[in-house]
Amino acid sequence: SRDGCASEIGRGKPELPIPRGLSRDPPSERARAMSQTPAALPRILVAGISHETNSFAAGGTPLAKFLEENDFPGLKTGPELIAFHTGCNFATSGFLARMAGLAEIVPALWMHGGAGGPAEDGVLDYFCDHLLEALGAARRIDAIYLDLHGAMVTPSWPDAEGEILRRLRAVT
């Protein structure tokens, strides 16, 4: 019987080569090494939006479902975004855990609307407006981490995440 996947990782398998610039050292050792270098940690803006659109469902999904805590977390911004994701099982949670000590995180916004009919156009506008505002307010950003579910549709944008990327590219 298996006592958990972690105990079997790497058993009887050859180690893969490490890509240049990466290390097998634990993150804490990498962070310590990075903190001893004169260069500042990279600043990464973090944002995300998630909605599982069912385009056959009657009605739409209003902005309020993304903002209020209900069957999903609702809107998280600033330090609350980081606090919420500590120990959770979302993509952003894993990213933040992996980057601890390796980057300065600039939390913008993260919102989850669950599943339902197409999201209102205002959902996309709200997310993009606040994302671009956070980007503009940041002193310096070296990278942007976007947690995009990839299944959001609005009446005006059948590829809502593509529209988010288009708007972001227009200012970067």
Q: Tokens standing for 151? A: 């299944």
Q: Are strands 104-116 and 76-77 parallel, antiparallel or unpaired?
A: antiparallel
Residue 160 · residue 125 · CB < 8 Å: no
In the predicted model, residues of the chain with pLDDT beneath 70 are: 1-38
CA 80-90-68 angle, to 5 degrees, is 50
In 3D space, the residue among 104, 85, 117, 95 whose CA is nearest the CA of residue 42 turns out to be 104
Residue 11 three-state SS: coil
Q: What is the per-residue DSSP string for 152-168? A: ---SS-SSHHHHHHHHH
One DSSP character per residue, 24-60 reads SS-HHHHHHHHHTSSSPPPEEEEEEEEEEE-TTSSS-
pLDDT digits (tens, 9 = 90+) for 34-44: 444 447 899 99
Q: Which of 18, 3, 35, 13 is nearest to 101 (CA)?
A: 35
The pTM of this model reads 0.76
pLDDT of residue 72: 84
Predicted pLDDT at 32: 52
